């Protein structure tokens, strides 16, 4: 039952992007985050806390009339292309995928059990 409630809450959040006014979008965001916090679904509560922390930055998107800069997207694409170029020597696609996760997600490298000198 929690999975259905979580799915419905994520679908409700999509309505947030239909607002035009930052004021009403902020009110919707507040009501949505209250519902999520009462849902007792821990991963969703974590998302709601993050959204609450970043609320002013999210509402800036409405103040800018839904315009955005594509600079960050271009930077990510450049990183992806560079990592893909480096990963041609990998044996499997899965290893190339892991390399992308490490580059884009800034994941920590696992500790090696052996040292290579």
pLDDT in tens, 71-117: 777 888 888 888 888 777 777 888 877 788 777 776 666 666 666 65
Chain length of the chain = 117
Co-location of 41 and 93 in the same domain:
no
116 occurs within a structural domain: no
- Other beta carbons within 10 Å of 44: 20
| Structural domain range at position 7 | 2-63
pTM over 0.75: no
Q: What integer is the mean pLDDT of 16-27? A: 92
Residue 98 belongs to some domain of the structure: yes
């Amino acid at each position: 039952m929690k999975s259905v409630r979580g799915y419905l809450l994520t679908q409700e959040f999509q309505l947030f992007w239909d607002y035009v006014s930052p004021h009403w979008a902020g009110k919707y965001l507040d009501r949505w985050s209250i519902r999520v916090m009462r849902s007792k679904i821990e991963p969703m509560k974590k998302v709601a806390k993050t959204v609450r922390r970043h609320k002013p930055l999210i509402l800036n998107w409405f103040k800018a009339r839904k315009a955005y800069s594509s600079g960050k997207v271009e930077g990510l694409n450049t990183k992806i292309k560079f990592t893909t170029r480096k990963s041609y020597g990998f044996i499997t696609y899965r290893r190339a995928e892991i390399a992308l996760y490490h580059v884009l997600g800034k994941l920590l490298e696992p500790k090696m059990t052996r040292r290579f000198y």
